Chains A and B, each alone.
Chain A
């Protein structure tokens, strides 16, 4: 199957600093693509460029054949690119299921007039049912009506994922989903991510934790100073001398 996301020559400068320098990569439906690199390698910037939070200085991002660059974040989400945040950002005044239903926002077809005339009730009930099944999918059943401020950090991370899936995306961007999790939670989240890919959704994730990423990702892209230095299967990337030198070597030595 052809790629769902194609990134070509993507560039971003902050003042004199080049954060992303002519980056090329693609993601296929159902594929888990891991993006790694030392701090400051341009991973988060790449994410924010794809999600529309930053404006690119050059290059192209094509999603399902459509250009994404220049669109506002909400318009990119509406096209089927949903994201999670590195630091959980729940909607604190709402319950778990309401948070998930916010993720389904772009799927609602009824207008405000229908909301008033009562014609929106069926759609609301259908979306609630879908949100319930997503809550079950990430393993938060039992917390459906809980106040989100009472969730643990790991539960909050699972909620972020359920919320992103509620928009029925074709691509999810996961920003360091493993950061700060306990070993049990890591196992849970890895199986959730595999489950997402098994649904045919493309997954692009930034990760620092090699032990988490290498067994999980189908393919890995390594960035250094905003440029790609390796792209391939985890085992091949791990053995690549350039990668060892730039990242794994220094990382391993530091451990």
Chain B
């Protein structure tokens, strides 16, 4: 019931927005979706990875290539897109989580770089540096979803993502992830397969990033390499840390704030808003490691 209310409220908002603000709203929802998934991996499972945004791109490109280069029907394209993300995630995570330390961070950094190279060099399949454009979402049950109606689809996918993450978090799996984050050796002594837990957390969150990417593919109706570069991978990390890592609400607040901040700051400081981000990030780490949600906790008591 609460989920339905949230869906109605968030989707209805889109109908009151003009084209420009609808576009901003959709992108904000997508950032929240990404931050929620990344928070599960980084904040709850304690794993540092830089591939979350690359999986967003893998999802987007997979959907577009499957639908318009290979003419796969939409439901099958969605399933195959998720499958591609799962296979790539397993291929990266299985070897790199067997080792302690920074191997997952390094492997995912390499993946994120490699992905952009593949996009640029992909020829006709990926459209090279120009990417792929001029496609439209196929009709769903005969309806051409557009404008605020497509925003409602994004809201649905966002709430589905949140629902999955909350269910996982409140189960034995969520506790295992937190145990792995807090003390891997004690987690193993409790019977938790540490490497397997990391692999599952990484694969599930990467697949969710892929789904977000598929949704994104029909927001701008174009996919191209510069969108999926590394800067956005770091921005995600900032969002989670500033908002409050380990908490769904924290990740959502961080995503909304850091996404909207440049819109307010740009008229004042131009492109130097990145500097403001850096200061915010340092302030969060030094003064408030629990992020904005931690501040909220303190003052609401």
Contact residues of A with B, CB < 8 Å?
51, 53, 72-74, 77-78, 82-83, 85, 89-94, 98, 101-106, 108, 110, 112, 115-116, 118, 120, 124, 127, 163, 167
Contacts and interface: CB of A to CB of B under 8 A. Distances in A.
Most buried by A among B167, B168, B189, B200: B189
Nearest to A109: B172
Given A73-B188, A91-B187, 8 more contacts: A72-B188, A78-B191, A90-B182, A90-B183, A112-B171, A115-B167, A163-B190, A167-B190
B188 A98 contact: no
A77 B182 contact: no
26 contacts: A73-B188, A73-B189, A74-B189, A74-B194, A77-B188, A77-B190, A77-B191, A83-B189, A85-B186, A89-B183, A91-B179, A93-B181, A93-B182, A94-B175, A101-B175, A102-B178, A102-B192, A104-B172, A105-B175, A112-B168, A112-B200, A115-B171, A116-B168, A120-B171, A124-B171, A167-B191
B189 A105 contact: no
A101 B185 CA distance: 17
B100 to A, nearest CB: 13
B37 interface: no
B103 interface: no
Nearest to B174: A115
Contacts of A120: 171-172
B171 A74 contact: no
B167 A94 contact: no
Contacts of B194: 74
B36 interface: no
A32 to B, nearest CB: 20
B174 to A, nearest CB: 9
Given A115-B167, A115-B173, A124-B171, A89 B186 contact: yes
Nearest to A92: B182
A105 B172 contact: yes
Contacts of A94: 175, 178-179, 182
Contact of B192 (A74, A93, A115): A74
Nearest to A77: B191
B167 A102 contact: no
B193 interface: yes
A85 to B, nearest CB: 7
Contacts of B167: 115-116, 118
Contacts of B179: 91, 94, 102, 105
Contact of A91 (B164, B170, B186, B193): B186
B167 to A, nearest CB: 5
